[in-house]
Amino acid sequence: MQQALDILAVSTRGAGLYEITDDVAGWVRGTGFQLGLLTVFCRHTSAGLLITENASPAVWRDLQRWMSHVAPEGDHYEHSDEGPDDMPAHLKSVLTGNSVTVPVSDGRIMLGTWQGLFLAEFRRAPHRRSVVMHLAGQ
Amino acid sequence: MQQALDILAVSTRGAGLYEITDDVAGWVRGTGFQLGLLTVFCRHTSAGLLITENASPAVWRDLQRWMSHVAPEGDHYEHSDEGPDDMPAHLKSVLTGNSVTVPVSDGRIMLGTWQGLFLAEFRRAPHRRSVVMHLAGQ
Amino acid sequence: MQQALDILAVSTRGAGLYEITDDVAGWVRGTGFQLGLLTVFCRHTSAGLLITENASPAVWRDLQRWMSHVAPEGDHYEHSDEGPDDMPAHLKSVLTGNSVTVPVSDGRIMLGTWQGLFLAEFRRAPHRRSVVMHLAGQ
């Protein structure tokens, strides 16, 4: 087994889901590995990574509304000096987690037909997010 | 280090938790690997994988009721054409995540005494779920 | 590629976040591996692992209050014989998950500047928690 590692920079333009499936799949293809384990890791505490339906923008909107309902803005947070969307962003980041792990076979990420990989930006202001891609395999 | 990869098909009969600990542990044993990293990955956006208490059906029922409380059915979703249990299923899938990663030592998955590995089916209709098992080790 | 595996015992003194970044980073350094994949796994169903902001105790308190709001104590659980904080602890453990996976480069865990790794204890009573550290790399 061998390893490959790279950084994917994702520029966000406000809160939302940014699909990175093609970027990551292209990188995996470029390594030439046929069998392996892919790990994608987001180096931030106010953004996250998740897998969800890849074909329906309505699902993405419902998902974001749901996360904002579960972790709402409000004046009940002790940590509020970085703006009203900061603490909810930290909570959503714990909700989604910071990494996604997917096996690779025949040189392809083994996502299901309807699965897409997304960076979830939880802050309103534009950010440049650093996402680590690691592949162990052969 | 070497790798093994296989698919576990799980037939579900409605929403619920389906324990797959023994299936996965048996597969790990069959590889003969003594030390490694096990990744189990669910290839669907309306089912998930999770680890919880392995001995108490009451815990499983409470857990499912809780998920249905946090991500309830209702007429407030934009994505509703696949039935009332579809969008909540996508939300629960994000809540639990799609993969579980556990180290392997002495040929055994290092789950704690009370930990079991479950496929969580979030749709009411029966499904055949595809779960990838990947083991890197030796 | 090679592997290293060890157990980190974490003594908790009640519900709260216990930062283990330095313990884990020190262990990774000790292996001498320069490039790899780190997996940290918590062998319990009433504690979890998470990554969040490493500099603000206010964030940690808000995060814990939020989890207790999302998974509150109460008399509505079927599983209650191990105390009022037991079932909420199982729910929070599913919310956070049991493992954290982070790539390693130049001998260092690739956490972002503001990311810290925490064991989250969800029970009130003191516990001794067993956390597995696995590193695959070279």
Please, what are the domains in chain A?
2-137 (2.60.120.460)
Which residues on neighbouring strands pair with residue C119, listed in sequence order? C18, C49
Please indicate if any CB of chain C lies within 8 Å of the CB of B114.
Answer: yes
For residue C110, name the pLDDT band (cuts at 50, 70, 90): very high
Question: What is the distance in angstroms between the Cα of B1 and the nearest Cα belonging to chain A?
Answer: 6
CA B74 to chain centre: 25
Which pLDDT score is estimated for A128? 98
Give which of C9, C68, A103, C36 is closest to B112, Cα–Cα.
C9
Nearest-angstrom CA–CA distance, C90 and B52: 7
Question: What is the distance in angstroms between the Cα of C54 and the nearest Cα belonging to chain B?
Answer: 23
Contact B111, C43 (CB under 8 A): yes
Which chain A residue is nearest to residue B137, measuring alpha carbons? A1
Which pLDDT score is estimated for B24? 98
Cβ within 8 Å, pair B39-A101: yes
Residue with tokens 């669910």: B42
Cβ within 8 Å, pair A35-B101: no
Which pLDDT score is estimated for A126? 98
pLDDT digits (tens, 9 = 90+) for C112-130: 999 999 999 999 999 999 9
- Among B52, B97, B102, select the one facing C41 at the smallest CB separation: B102
Please indicate if any CB of chain C lies within 8 Å of the CB of A79.
Answer: yes
Cβ within 8 Å, pair A78-C100: no
Cβ within 8 Å, pair B101-C2: no
pLDDT digits (tens, 9 = 90+) for A60-106: 999 999 999 999 999 999 999 899 999 999 999 999 999 999 999 99
Structure tokens at A37: 């384990």
Please indicate if any CB of chain C lies within 8 Å of the CB of A44.
Answer: yes
Residue with tokens 């996965």: B24
Which pLDDT score is estimated for B53? 97
Interface confidence, given as ipTM, is 0.97
Please indicate if any CB of chain C lies within 8 Å of the CB of A132.
Answer: yes
Q: What is the 3-state secondary structure (H, E, C) of chain A?
A: CEEEEEEEEEEECCCEEEECHHHHHHHHHHHCCCCEEEEEEECCCCEEEEEEECCCHHHHHHHHHHHHHHCCCCCCCCCCCCCCCHHHHHHHHHHHCCEEEEEEECCEECCCCCEEEEEEECCCCCEEEEEEEEEEEC
What average pLDDT does this structure show over C48-76? 97
Q: Is the pTM of this model over 0.95?
A: yes
The per-residue pLDDT of chain C, averaged, comes to 98
Which pLDDT score is estimated for C67? 98
Which pLDDT score is estimated for B87? 98
Which chain C residue is nearest to residue A137, measuring alpha carbons? C1
Alpha-carbon torsion C49, C51, C56, C60, what sign? Answer: negative
Question: What is the distance in angstroms between the Cα of A63 and the nearest Cα belonging to chain B?
Answer: 6
Give pLDDT tens digits along chain B (138 positions): 999 999 999 999 999 999 999 999 999 999 999 999 999 999 999 999 999 999 999 999 999 999 999 999 999 999 998 999 999 999 999 999 999 999 999 999 999 999 999 999 999 999 999 999 999 999
Residues 6 or more apart in contact with residue B108 via CB below 8 angstroms: B25, B28, B29
- Among B35, B96, B112, select the one facing C94 at the smallest CB separation: B96
Please indicate if any CB of chain B lies within 8 Å of the CB of C131.
Answer: no
Give, in order, the Cα–Cα distances in Å from C107 to each of A42, B59, C3, C13, C22: 18, 41, 14, 32, 14
Nearest-angstrom CA–CA distance, B66 and B50: 14
Contact A18, A12 (CB under 8 A): yes
Give which of A18, A43, A21 is closest to A93, Cα–Cα.
A43
Contact B34, B138 (CB under 8 A): yes
Query: Chain B residues with CB inside 8 Å of C2's CB?
Result: 1
Nearest-angstrom CA–CA distance, A15 and A84: 13
Query: Chain A residues with CB inside 8 Å of C61's CB?
Result: 78-79
Give, in order, the Cα–Cα distances in Å from A57 to each of A4, A52, A118, B65, C74: 32, 11, 12, 28, 37
Structure tokens at B1: 């280090």
Neighbours of A3 (CB within 10 A): 21
Cβ within 8 Å, pair B35-C136: no
Please indicate if any CB of chain B lies within 8 Å of the CB of A91.
Answer: no
pLDDT digits (tens, 9 = 90+) for C85-96: 999 999 999 999
